[in-house]
Amino acid sequence: MFRVVLVDDERLIVEGLRKVICWADFGCEVVGTAEDAASGAALIREKKPHILFTDIRMPGDDGLTMLAGLRSEFPEMQVAVLTGYRDFSYAQEAIRLGVTRFLLKPSRLAEINEALGAMTEKLKRESAEAEEAEREHAGSFLVRQAQAYMQQHCAQKLTLQDVADACYVSQWHLSKLLNRYTGKNFYDLLNACRVDEAKALLADARLRVGEISEMVGYADTAHFARVFKKLTGMSAVEYRNSL
């Protein structure tokens, strides 16, 4: 029996899918539902479904990042997107990330049944080569999103768990992806982001080095000084004088 999870912020759609589709005819069982990406990702880790029906344009959620996270962490899971978002480039990226079907709301029952049939057949066939290509694309997409998030929030107190939550994956999986695609660990990447930001701020002679240290996320100026010199080969003052 294939396990199915439904994720949509519209409760009526979730209940409609649960009740209208004859899941047993496809050898499927709905094992859980969720109303947003974060709770959906947690449910998927708990239930480990074979099939996911999801919207990827829910309030406050980054749908493509959620999708990349799920496809990277659960590459064998089949995904069908149900969405009212009519953007061709968005649909193309979703398909590159490994979506089996991209269905526009309101979807006809025949379309949903066709998607379900396609996903169950794919699970039975298991095309390993295609899944590996999709997994690679999802992984690289996710790392780019994680790095962008780190760049935007590097001045804050930031942990691996914070970034993993923003990418809808476990911190263990994100750590593995960062090492695989960048050759660096989380703290190396975070320090690089902070030093890049500090270099830009050092161009403003009105700012003291201690102020800049705090502005880029270091509570300890001495620690900032050590990291800056390690990554640039010179002190912050020497770097400022070289500008």
The residue with tokens 């989380």 is 186
Distance of alpha carbon 97 from alpha carbon 132, whole angstroms:
11
Cβ neighbour number for residue 3 with a 10 Å cutoff? 17
Q: What is the mean pLDDT of the chain?
A: 88
Which structural domains are found in the chain, ordered by start? 2-127 (3.40.50.2300), 189-242 (1.10.10.60)
Full-model pTM: 0.69
The pLDDT of residue 185: 95
Look up residue 32 and give its DSSP letter: E
The pLDDT of residue 116: 93
pLDDT tens per residue, range 25-78: 999 999 999 988 888 888 999 999 999 998 877 766 667 888 888 888 888 899
Residue 129 pLDDT greater than 60, yes or no: no
Cα dist from 25 to 53, 114, 116, 229, whole Å = 17, 12, 10, 64
Residue 148 pLDDT greater than 80, yes or no: yes
Mean pLDDT of 72-85: 86
DSSP string, 75-139: TT-EEEEEES---HHHHHHHHHTT-SEEEESSPPHHHHHHHHHHHHHHHHH--HHHHHHHHHHHH
The pLDDT of residue 62: 67
